[in-house]
C-alpha cells in the first residue's frame, strides 16, 4: 500500500482522512514521517493555507503530501470563524472555548445557517499541485449535542443527516462531511 503523508498533527482530522482514504493509502502524520514543528498558516483562504502546509512539508520530506485546511463559516457572522476556526477564541486548538465563544456570539441570532468548508491539496514532490474542495451545510445549535467528532461537530446540525455531527456516527459523518467531499473532488482529478 502506498504511503500518504498528511500535513497535520490534528488527531481528529487524521482519523477522518484515514477513514476516508485508508482503503487506498497508508495514511501517515507529518510527525510520524519525520517533520517536526508547525507550519505557519499565513493564507487568507482555506486553499492558500492547505497549499502552504502541503508544500512546506513536501519540500522538507521529499514526499508527496496531502494537506487540508478547513473550518466553519457562519452566514450571519460574514463567514467567521472561517480560516480562524481552530483559534477563534484566541487559543489554538481549544475546541470547547471556540464553541463557547461562537455560541455567545450567536446567542441573540435567529439565522444560524452555517457550513463546513474544506480545501485539500496534494503537493507532489515534483511540484505538481492537485486540489479538491468540499462543503456541507447545516445550522448552529443552541447547545452542544453529542460527543463524537471534534471541533464544532457537537453544535453543527447537519442538513444531510438531521442530527449534529456530535451525535452522528463516524461512518455517517464521513459520508457527507466537507472533508469527504473535498477528498472525493481531489480523487476525481487524480
As annotated, the active-site residues are 69
Q: Are 51 and 67 in contact (CB under 8 A)?
A: yes
Q: Are 140 and 155 in contact (CB under 8 A)?
A: yes
Q: Are 119 and 131 in contact (CB under 8 A)?
A: yes
Burial of 60 (0-12, 13-18, 19+ CB in 10 A): middle
Q: Which three cell numbers stand for residue 182?
A: 473535498
Distance, in Å, from the CA atom of 45 to the CA atom of 43, rounded to the nearest integer, reads 6
Amino acid at each position: 500500500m502506498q504511503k500518504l503523508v498528511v500535513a497535520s498533527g490534528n488527531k481528529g482530522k487524521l482519523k477522518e482522512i484515514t477513514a476516508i482514504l485508508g482503503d487506498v493509502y497508508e495514511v501517515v502524520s507529518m510527525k510520524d514521517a519525520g517533520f517536526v514543528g508547525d507550519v505557519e498558516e499565513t493564507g487568507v483562504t482555506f486553499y492558500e493555507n492547505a497549499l502552504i502546509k502541503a508544500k512546506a512539508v513536501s519540500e522538507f520530506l521529499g514526499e508527496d503530501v496531502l494537506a487540508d485546511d478547513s473550518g466553519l463559516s457562519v452566514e450571519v457572522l460574514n463567514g467567521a470563524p472561517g480560516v480562524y476556526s481552530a483559534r477563534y477564541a484566541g487559543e489554538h486548538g481549544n475546541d470547547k472555548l471556540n464553541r463557547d465563544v461562537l455560541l455567545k456570539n450567536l446567542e441573540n441570532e435567529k439565522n444560524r445557517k452555517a457550513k463546513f468548508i474544506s480545501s485539500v491539496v496534494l503537493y507532489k514532490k515534483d511540484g505538481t499541485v492537485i486540489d479538491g474542495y468540499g462543503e456541507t451545510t447545516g445550522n448552529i445549535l443552541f447547545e452542544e449535542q453529542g460527543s463524537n467528532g471534534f471541533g464544532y461537530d457537537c453544535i453543527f446540525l447537519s442538513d444531510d443527516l438531521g442530527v449534529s455531527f456530535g451525535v452522528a456516527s463516524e461512518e455517517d459523518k464521513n459520508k457527507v462531511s466537507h472533508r469527504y467531499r473535498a477528498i472525493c473532488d481531489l480523487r476525481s482529478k487524480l
